[in-house]
Chains A and B, each alone.
Chain A
């Protein structure tokens, strides 16, 4: 037992691996939020009039709203005037052209394992790297362009493909949608824009890497993915932040439009700084993610591995409008120490013969709270809708909580909707079995947890799955006493 305690202590003192900061000259605008700030952000990004109008409308609407309180979360008070809404680390140093990337930045992304040099990259993944409010670099753009695929930061897209952006921006998540969506629509900075033209199968994985670096800032990125008829794309998202004592706000929007017979896979490995073992600091991850399956037989799958953030509050959702469309949601959410998560999905069935699957695995340890909240709605016209949901929770430790709040609103007699959930602790039989075979408890827990989460991890692209598996191990270290 003493060995065990020793190990626990060591691990507890282990620091968040990605918690370093980068010393790079960053242009940060003054803290506070007002119409002037919204105008300033728009001006800095050189945006057209219509986009500024969009932002201002969103900002004015945000002012009329109240911060939601219904989550199963103990949210700290967020002072929206104490955040800087724009930070640009690509500010040129004297004597260097803007085009060149500061070597410090390159080093940062290397350290994070995200090579920005195309020659160094593992084949098959194009990366858009975003630090604070600005996209640092997007790799393999030219190669993708040959196929007609657009993959760039949203700021560039606004300039280069204004019609496309204007057509789809806010069409899935309108600025009125919720408090944080309105905030994001007012002050959003960089994010990725992806357009896959008709009939094109994207030859490589597209990936965006988000990093918060500057102190006292929030990140408000915006991602827009449009997958036209018969096209396919697999998109990955990763994120980290340095260790800070204060809570940093991350309020992003992801919008996905899927047309006829098209397929989008969206995978997230979320590893924002979770706060220290006393619950100090950490990122508040309040994100609105939604996909609209517009075309017939379109497919969308969300896969998420959530291990970071002090508070995670998001529901990647699908609106299944196209007849025969299919949506999937696979999630592993791990909370440790004082982390809190209230996450799940919404499946809104509108088209006929639509099908959705929800597999959610929650793992709580330490003093954390982990909730699954999900909605399955079958509208009156959605004949033949089918849903299967399964939510399992695993409890490691007697001070943590695991909660399930599924909602099912069924307005159609031909729908078949099933939901099941279980909550339990790790089986002592399984632990004993591993111990008997010389596997120590810590490793055994890691093994069992990985097995438990396998249904979801299997859905991740290969490189991501390996990372996620390691992450699961690290996040849970020290949680078994």
Chain B
């Protein structure tokens, strides 16, 4: 039986149960998604955008699904201390796909800002959510979208109304917690209206050493002249599989930064599609990957320039050790009429061992003439001369290598605008390179 059939059959059997523990707005799209997944199946590696990740294999094992919404007895505030020093964030938790609402940060959010369970808010703000939910992440376009739309019962909703500036960054910690192998389908909807501003930090953690398979579909709507920074940090374990699709739509003058940092993981596949719908909008995408053992990280991005005078920057850096496999496929599409587009993409990779593999594919597709687009991509090793220089000055070779690796990813980390987070990440990557991975001090999980 093909893996996708396993899920469509499950849905066919548990339709009512899934719907009864969710909300009408989410249920409205399930049937369409079910049909889409039946038609599409899971993509094989012959499908261009899934060339480097075997989806079938990842979804084949039998995972448990918490369709009945049995609550998980854990207090994240008790077990989790992975805060970033000096960065006072409004801290929220997602337990698997459920928003943890029992306790919330004391600092009040600005007037009108909503953050909480997607299913809950879709009952109270059904018009707002119905007019956005599933509009960007179309089921018939991607099997992961279809699967997630078909099975997701809850998730996260963030809404920043017109003109509101959220000064204090919002931090959402996703915790995977289970006593059995578990599949989690999390849905995220973010709406940042005209002139609003938000900084969002999402951290992925898994606290049990079970096999986890998490799909996450995020839809982000950014209004005119709005600002949004999203930092996604993954620090899970080698048994974790993550399939995350993010869709961003930007209106005129909007500015979005997406930072995706994978420090420790099992198998990760991030797809990020950004549509620049309005003139003068801007997108900055940064990625930093540190992988070893048999870790697999596949970042697949698309920046769709639909309007003139837009700017895009993409910078991804990979450090691969052990038998890790890295893949980066970035596509910049400049449509006819999107004149005065400026686009820069770069992908630099370090392979530290013979067994490490890197696949890179920076693509430009341009249908307008008055543009400036460039991309560059390199795969190589640490600079021998630089190593030699440092050793001459009495720095041991191992230390010199570390310093160079550190400087290599530093370029991406320096792009982070939240200073305390930047410092913290410098610290975490430094530790990661020293092999003391994902043991964050003060966090009870890691002790």
Closest 3 CB pairs of A and B: A395-B369, A420-B376, A404-B364
The answer to whether A415 touches B379, judged by C-beta atoms less than 8 angstroms apart, is: yes
- Bound state CA distance, A421 and B356, in angstroms? 25
- Bound state CA distance, A32 and B154, in angstroms? 60
- How big is chain B's contact interface, by range? 35 or more
Interface string of A391-407 (1 = CB under 8 A from B): 00101111111111111
The answer to whether B380 touches A415, judged by C-beta atoms less than 8 angstroms apart, is: yes
Binds B, one of A84-92, A205-213, A422-430: A422-430
The answer to whether B351 touches A424, judged by C-beta atoms less than 8 angstroms apart, is: no
The answer to whether A403 touches B363, judged by C-beta atoms less than 8 angstroms apart, is: yes
The answer to whether A413 touches B377, judged by C-beta atoms less than 8 angstroms apart, is: no
The answer to whether B376 touches A421, judged by C-beta atoms less than 8 angstroms apart, is: yes
- 17 A-B pairs with CB atoms under 8 Å apart are A395-B371, A396-B369, A399-B336, A402-B364, A405-B361, A406-B363, A407-B360, A408-B377, A408-B379, A410-B359, A411-B357, A414-B381, A417-B377, A417-B380, A420-B377, A421-B362, A421-B374
- Bound state CA distance, A72 and B367, in angstroms? 13
The answer to whether B370 touches A423, judged by C-beta atoms less than 8 angstroms apart, is: no
Residue of B352, B354, B363, B373 near A424 (CB, 8 A) is: B373
Interface string of B61-75 (1 = CB under 8 A from A): 000000000000000
Chain A residues lying within 8 Å of B378, measured Cβ to Cβ, are 416-419
Distance from B230 Cβ to chain A, minimum over Cβ atoms (Å): 28
Verify if A412 is at the interface (C-beta below 8 Å from B).
yes
The answer to whether A423 touches B377, judged by C-beta atoms less than 8 angstroms apart, is: no
Residue of B365, B372, B379 near A410 (CB, 8 A) is: B379
- Bound state CA distance, A398 and B379, in angstroms? 34
The answer to whether B376 touches A404, judged by C-beta atoms less than 8 angstroms apart, is: no
Within B352-401, which residues are at the interface with A (CB < 8 Å)?
352-381
Verify if A466 is at the interface (C-beta below 8 Å from B).
no
Chain A residues lying within 8 Å of B365, measured Cβ to Cβ, are 72, 401, 403-404
Chain B residues lying within 8 Å of A404, measured Cβ to Cβ, are 362-365, 375
- Bound state CA distance, A406 and B371, in angstroms? 20
Q: Which residue of A lies closest to B335 (CB)?
A: A401
The answer to whether A417 touches B379, judged by C-beta atoms less than 8 angstroms apart, is: yes
- Bound state CA distance, A380 and B365, in angstroms? 31
Most chain A CB within 10 A, of B349, B352, B369, is at B369
Q: Which residue of B lies closest to A396 (CB)?
A: B369
The answer to whether B369 touches A416, judged by C-beta atoms less than 8 angstroms apart, is: no
A residues adjacent to B (C-beta < 8 A):
70, 72, 380, 393, 395-425
Known: A415-B379, A416-B380, A424-B371. A408 touches B358 (CB 8 A): yes
Task: Known A-B contacts: A399-B336, A408-B359, A419-B377. Give 17 more (CB < 8 A).
Answer: A70-B48, A395-B369, A401-B365, A404-B365, A405-B363, A406-B377, A407-B361, A408-B360, A413-B352, A413-B356, A415-B351, A416-B379, A417-B380, A418-B380, A419-B378, A420-B376, A423-B364
Chain B residues lying within 8 Å of A414, measured Cβ to Cβ, are 354, 381
- Bound state CA distance, A415 and B352, in angstroms? 11
Distance from A383 Cβ to chain B, minimum over Cβ atoms (Å): 9
Distance from B159 Cβ to chain A, minimum over Cβ atoms (Å): 38
The answer to whether B357 touches A410, judged by C-beta atoms less than 8 angstroms apart, is: yes
Verify if B339 is at the interface (C-beta below 8 Å from A).
yes
Distance from B203 Cβ to chain A, minimum over Cβ atoms (Å): 30
Where chain A touches its partner, the secondary structure class is strand
Q: Which residue of B lies closest to A408 (CB)?
A: B360
- Bound state CA distance, A441 and B48, in angstroms? 41
Distance from A361 Cβ to chain B, minimum over Cβ atoms (Å): 14
The answer to whether B369 touches A413, judged by C-beta atoms less than 8 angstroms apart, is: no
The answer to whether A406 touches B336, judged by C-beta atoms less than 8 angstroms apart, is: no
The answer to whether B361 touches A406, judged by C-beta atoms less than 8 angstroms apart, is: yes
Residue of B48, B339, B371, B376 near A423 (CB, 8 A) is: B371
- Bound state CA distance, A400 and B369, in angstroms? 7
Chain B residues lying within 8 Å of A403, measured Cβ to Cβ, are 363-366
The answer to whether B381 touches A413, judged by C-beta atoms less than 8 angstroms apart, is: yes
Chain B residues lying within 8 Å of A402, measured Cβ to Cβ, are 364, 366
- Bound state CA distance, A404 and B363, in angstroms? 5
Chain A residues lying within 8 Å of B362, measured Cβ to Cβ, are 404, 406, 419, 421
Distance from A279 Cβ to chain B, minimum over Cβ atoms (Å): 17
Interface string of B281-318 (1 = CB under 8 A from A): 00000000000000000000000000000000000000
Residue of A72, A405, A410, A419 near B351 (CB, 8 A) is: A410
Distance from A80 Cβ to chain B, minimum over Cβ atoms (Å): 24
The answer to whether A424 touches B372, judged by C-beta atoms less than 8 angstroms apart, is: yes
Chain B residues lying within 8 Å of A416, measured Cβ to Cβ, are 378-381
Chain B residues lying within 8 Å of A411, measured Cβ to Cβ, are 357
Chain B residues lying within 8 Å of A70, measured Cβ to Cβ, are 48
Chain B residues lying within 8 Å of A412, measured Cβ to Cβ, are 351, 354
Chain A residues lying within 8 Å of B375, measured Cβ to Cβ, are 404, 419-421
The answer to whether A425 touches B369, judged by C-beta atoms less than 8 angstroms apart, is: yes
Distance from B391 Cβ to chain A, minimum over Cβ atoms (Å): 19
The answer to whether A425 touches B351, judged by C-beta atoms less than 8 angstroms apart, is: no
Residue of B355, B367, B373 near A422 (CB, 8 A) is: B373
Q: Which residue of A lies closest to B357 (CB)?
A: A411
Known: A398-B339, A403-B366. A413 touches B374 (CB 8 A): no
- Bound state CA distance, A421 and B330, in angstroms? 13
- Bound state CA distance, A407 and B48, in angstroms? 11
Most chain A CB within 10 A, of B359, B374, B379, is at B379
- Bound state CA distance, A404 and B56, in angstroms? 29
Known: A401-B365, A402-B366, A403-B366. A423 touches B373 (CB 8 A): yes
Chain B residues lying within 8 Å of A395, measured Cβ to Cβ, are 366, 368-369, 371
Chain B residues lying within 8 Å of A408, measured Cβ to Cβ, are 358-361, 377, 379
Q: Which residue of B lies closest to A424 (CB)?
A: B372
The answer to whether B363 touches A413, judged by C-beta atoms less than 8 angstroms apart, is: no
- Bound state CA distance, A399 and B370, in angstroms? 11
Q: Which residue of A lies closest to B374 (CB)?
A: A422
- Bound state CA distance, A412 and B353, in angstroms? 7
Chain A residues lying within 8 Å of B357, measured Cβ to Cβ, are 409-411
Chain B residues lying within 8 Å of A409, measured Cβ to Cβ, are 357-359
The answer to whether B366 touches A423, judged by C-beta atoms less than 8 angstroms apart, is: yes
Chain A residues lying within 8 Å of B380, measured Cβ to Cβ, are 415-418
- Bound state CA distance, A396 and B366, in angstroms? 12
